[in-house]
Amino acid sequence: MSDQQSTVIEPGSEVIMHFALKLEDGTIADSTDGTEPLRFVMGDGTLIQGLELALYGLKAGDRQTLLIGPDVAFGARDEEAIHDMPRSEFPADMDLEPGLIIGFSTPAGDEVPGAVVDLSESTVTVDFNHPLAGHEISFSVEIVGVTAPSPA
């Protein structure tokens, strides 16, 4: 058995995997189906912590599907993250419509996405919740390869 097949996932491991994220109704939110597997280092921020926790201890060849609640996945929906903004704050030539995702800059200079959920002549309602917030997620993985963390 090769080292990559017997090495278990731990903090700092390089992981190669196929995955699918599904919502409660079976809608696929994200997947590597038909593409190259995802390659990342545990703890590098590629996956949210709740998804990383589901991988610890797995090794190449392992497959599993877990249901992950909103509190561990993408958080609960926060009604305070929905804001009515004056339409005048948007460019006049911007074609605003529900579902449009717009990048906004925070006072700290960070870029955050917001989804237009409603609009009127004077206001635009923007939802800054993560699109998967409030959902129980089915997280299916097939681990293709694991490399042990490099000694620091």
| Digit-coded pLDDT (tens) for 36-64 | 999 999 999 998 888 898 899 999 999 99
Q: Could you report how far apart the first and last alpha carbons of the chain are, in Å?
A: 26
Say whether both 29 and 103 belong to one domain: no
Same domain, 26 and 98: no
Chain-wide mean pLDDT for the chain?
Answer: 91
| pTM across the whole model | 0.71
The answer to whether residues 39 and 106 belong to one domain is: no
Q: What is the pLDDT of residues 91-144, one digit of tens each?
A: 989 999 999 999 998 888 888 889 999 999 999 999 999 888 999 999 999 999
User: Would you say residue 1 has pLDDT above 80?
Assistant: no
Q: Residue 133: CA atoms inside 13 Å, Cβ hemisphere, count? A: 14
Of all helices (H) and strands (E), which one includes residue 91? none
Q: How far apart are CA 33 and CA 45, in angstroms?
A: 22
Contact 65, 39 (CB under 8 A): no
State the Cα–Cα distance between residues 54 and 52, nearest whole angstrom: 5
Confidence bin at 80 (pLDDT 50/70/90): very high
Given this model, what pLDDT does residue 107 score? 87
Q: Is residue 69 assigned to a domain?
A: yes
Identify the domain containing residue 118 by its residue range.
Answer: 79-127
